[in-house]
């Protein structure tokens, strides 16, 4: 009878341990390219409104950056980028003014300004903005999914660069907003 109790206690213990696992593991803020992971620490949107001749989407440039990269400017107007690290830029066309609308944005090679599209887009890895060096790649296809939870943006993207390499990533956090209209 004692061995039956031990087996029963072991079963209860193992059930409790397995039952306490976290099934909602969230991905890290990072981008993968050519088998290498690069950290993404912050985001920013520069709002250009409707561009010349555009009748559809609002132009919002989405920047996802590593910790050492900064957007600089005066009086809330960005004029340059500084630091060393990594940066992903998507020229997004939102269906709403002043914010990235929730939804899936598809790459548009013609940069037609169609709502829920993006392009041009590029990634710069190992950038040094002082020496103006880095490994820059154009994004030539893919999608970006924008969602929001608890006032934080969630950006999930899966793209292909001009070398035919997959570039996919995830960012969850606040996004600084700059109005250039």
Q: In angstroms, rounded to a whole number, what is the distance separating the alpha carbons of residues 41 and 168?
A: 15
Q: In angstroms, rounded to a whole number, what is the distance separating the alpha carbons of residues 140 and 124?
A: 14
Burial of 139 (0-12, 13-18, 19+ CB in 10 A): buried
45 CB-side CA count, 13 A: 23
Q: In angstroms, rounded to a whole number, what is the distance separating the alpha carbons of residues 118 and 100?
A: 11
What is the tens place of the pLDDT at every residue in 98-124? Answer: 899 999 999 999 888 889 999 999 999
pLDDT at 181: 78
pLDDT band at residue 135, thresholds of 50, 70 and 90? very high
What is the tens place of the pLDDT at every residue in 46-100? Answer: 999 887 665 688 999 999 999 999 999 887 789 899 999 999 999 999 998 889 9
Domain boundaries, the chain: 28-179
pLDDT at 16: 43
pTM of the model: 0.83
80 CB-side CA count, 13 A: 7
């Amino acid at each position: 009878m004692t061995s039956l109790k031990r087996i029963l206690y072991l079963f209860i213990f193992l059930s409790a341990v397995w039952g306490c696992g976290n099934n909602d593991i969230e991905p890290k803020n990072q981008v993968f390219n050519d088998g290498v992971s690069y950290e993404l620490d912050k985001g920013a949107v520069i709002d250009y409104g409707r561009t010349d001749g555009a009748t559809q989407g609002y132009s919002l440039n989405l920047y996802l950056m590593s910790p050492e990269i900064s957007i600089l400017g005066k009086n809330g107007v960005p004029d340059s980028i500084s630091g060393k690290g990594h940066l992903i830029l998507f020229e997004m066309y939102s269906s709403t003014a002043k914010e990235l609308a929730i939804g899936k944005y598809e790459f548009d090679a013609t940069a037609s300004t169609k709502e829920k599209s993006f392009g041009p887009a590029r990634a710069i890895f190992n950038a040094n903005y002082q020496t103006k060096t880095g490994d820059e790649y154009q994004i030539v296809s893919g999608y970006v999914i924008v969602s929001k939870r608890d006032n934080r943006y969630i950006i999930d993207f899966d793209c292909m660069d001009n070398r035919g390499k997959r570039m996919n990533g995830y960012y969850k956090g606040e996004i600084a907003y700059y109005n250039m209209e």
